[in-house]
Structure 1
Amino acid sequence: MVSRALGALHQIDRAVTTSPEPLPNIEFSFVVSDIPDSEHQHRTSWSLTRLAIDEEMWFMPDFGFWSWPLDLVGSYEQIRAEMRANEVVWEKKVPKALWRGAVKTNKVRNSLVRASQGKSWADVHEVKWKNRTDVAVGSAVLSMADHCNHQFLIHTEGRSYSGRGKYLLNCESITIIHKSEWIEPYQTLLVPSGPHQNFVQVERDFSDLGSKIQQLLQDPEQAKSIAHNSASTFRDRYLTPSAQVCYWRQLIRSWAEVSFRPKPWVLVGGKKQLRGIPFETFVVQALHKGHVPCSVWKTFTLQCR
């Protein structure tokens, strides 16, 4: 959780310090767990995902837009650069549907394995983890950049949402997504049909996966159009680091419109001192101690320059 929180805070710091105009002072709570409100108590906070019933949750960008602490993933900007440097044209991509992941995480993944087992169009394999950071020997694991070598990339939910979606959408391939329960900020940009279609939607049990892939294999021009629309919408625009900076700034402005304005200064011994801890100091303490005390999280306040 600490690495996730630091990833989010680094994004906020970048958005604030590079802002061309001052941003309002705000105070907020944010949640970086996969399931932000398991009891549906309708608390108002910033989260990575939510269900439709949890309307009080405000979306913030996924921590992975900064970096994942795994060698297979790593820095978001590094991943994007590697994808662009190594991606091949559509005709040279493998004409199969690719998926790698832990099956036990969500029952929809078991449905995917069953629907694709033994199919000539499928490259679907389970990845077994030895621990939180290392995969088991023999697992058919692939780097995120290597995913772009396939024409079709399957995205499934995980414990709730799955952070891999934004990486798949950085490939000029077709991302196939089942009907989802968990919502992410960019999902309103997904277009399932028409001239601007930029992904392929399938049922949660993947019962129509095979037929939709066969249709696309038989109509390569339509398939290439969907892949191009996806790259134009996501890779080249809304999932760029600069777009995430804009999103954070708008989130701060919108929050300020409905929230109170905290006072950044307090009197201590007759002198004004900043409330909370400056971000730069906060990060240094986290690195030095190897963890961040809970008491620090409770008092962190964002003072926008």
Structure 2
Amino acid sequence: MMVFRLTYAYVAIIVCVTTLIFIAHIHPGTSFYLPLLPSSYTTNYYTYTFPDPLEAENRHLTEEQCQERYPDLYLEADRAQEWYMAKGGISKKMVDGAEEEGNARLVILNNQLISHLVQQLFVKAYIGGINTRTQAAIAAVYGTVLTATEPLPDVDFVIQTSDAGSGNHPHFALCRKGNQKDLWLMPDFGFFSWPEPGVGSYSEVRTKTLNYELDMGLEVNDKLEVTESDWFNKTQQLFWRGSPMVEVRNVAMQDLLRASENQPWSDVQALDWGKVGQDEAERLKNNGDLKSPAEHCKYAFLAHVEGWAYSGRLKYLQQCRSVIVAHPLEYIQHYHHLLNGRDGDPNQNYVEVPLPLEKNLPKVMKDLLNEKNEEKLQRIADNNWKSMRQGWISPAAK
């Protein structure tokens, strides 16, 4: 019944978003006044107080409750706000310029979402975009409006849904590099749904990964705090699958493949997505053990590497009570400042391996698999579970 309810909810939101898009094509422009920037923001970071896991699925928190429960979350929003405040704020002209390089322009007015787009630009951007990304991003914003318990401020904004954020205008983008100060960051489209690779909705991934962990022997209390570990039931290897179509553009992916070749601790392989998508026979021939997000939880170690830009899989890996192993990330997402790879830190929630991986990864994996580090590894896995899955990337935190 839960699957059906999630499906119906997903379809309903998609229908609503499609209706908004249709209205945008026939509705004239709306006149309104918008402030240059919201008036309040927080600067309190790194309290390292884990969010209350009971709130993980609560989409109806007030602004005060959000500030209280997730005080560490807002660094990127505050950074962008301070950047634009120092420049005198955001003007309508700047938003108009952003629209020329965006995938959708949205207005929240009187606590309602209005799709406020130039018809031709939207049609070109939406149809020419990547799969259903823009639609999913709009649906996520619409979900925020629907679940808000307080009036939202009027705001006129532009979103980008390409892999890498770009431009010198105030876009809401999926990621940015450190020198891209003009970009605001938003949760990526996958926090709503990513149907094309078969991932499905974010809520569905969370449910399936939890059930997979429980089936492996994980025991949790009513707050989903771990009471019995399933660590020793996991395959003690590093797992990763990725596309050569991306790897030729990214040093880290090629580096990972070289570093893990013929290693006993490795289940790292390249995939040909074209063949995988043909039929079952080709899928089985081409690394037939292609894993769903939930099946990743079988492995004690999950590799994360960037692709063309950021990689959207990290949030899915963090749904497992496993240890994430990654290189230093070049692209920043809205919550990356909460990743803690400092070795030995009691709040460490993933393992960061310096580049080049071919040189450093074998030594790191040998050390991680040493029996003396079992307690450390379980602490890292627990921190990932508490701080990420049940905390900063939970539905409530979105």
TM, length-normalised to structure 2: 0.58
Give the drift of 1:128: 0.6
Of 204, 229, 232, 1:78 maps to: 204
Q: 1:119 to 1:132 in 2, by over 3 A?
A: closer
Query: Aligned partners of 1:61 and 1:131: how far apart in 2?
Result: 31
Is the 1:180–1:204 Cα contact (8 Å) retained in structure 2?
no
Query: Aligned partners of 1:91 and 1:243: how far apart in 2?
Result: 31
Matched, 1:49 2:210: no
Give the drift of 1:184: 0.8
Of 241, 246, 252, 1:100 maps to: 241
Determine helix, strand or coil for the equivalent of 2:155. coil
Give the drift of 1:186: 1.4
Q: Which amino acid aligns with 2:269?
A: H
1:114-146 Cα offsets, whole Å, 9 max, x none, are 000000000001111117965853222211110
Is the 1:153–1:174 Cα contact (8 Å) retained in structure 2?
yes
1:35-82 Cα offsets, whole Å, 9 max, x none, are 221xxx422210000111111100000100111123531111111101
Determine helix, strand or coil for the equivalent of 1:234. helix
Matched, 1:208 2:360: yes
Match of 2:338 in 1: 189
99-108 or 109-118, which moves further after superposition? 99-108
1:21-170 mapped onto 2 (5 Å cutoff):
21-37=150-166, 41-70=167-196, 72-87=198-213, 88=216, 89-105=230-246, 106-130=250-274, 137=283, 138-140=285-287, 141-170=290-319
Unaligned runs of 5+ in 2: 1-128, 217-229
Give the drift of 1:192: 1.1
Is the 1:70–1:133 Cα contact (8 Å) retained in structure 2?
no
| Number of corresponding residues | 241
Match of 2:138 in 1: 9
Give the drift of 1:4: 0.4
Match of 2:114 in 1: none
Q: 1:92 to 1:103 in 2, by over 3 A?
A: same
1:223-302 mapped onto 2 (5 Å cutoff):
223-244=377-398
Give the drift of 1:104: 3.6
Q: Which amino acid aligns with 1:91?
A: F
1:230-266 Cα offsets, whole Å, 9 max, x none, are 111101111111211xxxxxxxxxxxxxxxxxxxxxx
Q: Sequence identity of aligned pairs in percent?
A: 34
RMSD: 1.6
Q: Which amino acid aligns with 2:316?
A: Y
Match of 2:79 in 1: none
Match of 1:268 in 2: none
TM, length-normalised to structure 1: 0.76
Is the 2:276–2:286 Cα contact (8 Å) retained in structure 1?
no
Q: Which amino acid aligns with 2:257?
A: V
1:75-132 Cα offsets, whole Å, 9 max, x none, are 1111110100011211100000000011341221111000000000000011111179
Query: Aligned partners of 1:204 and 1:188: how far apart in 2?
Result: 20
Give the drift of 1:17: 1.5
Is the 1:46–1:58 Cα contact (8 Å) retained in structure 2?
yes
Determine helix, strand or coil for the equivalent of 2:326. strand
Q: 1:159 to 1:243 in 2, by over 3 A?
A: same
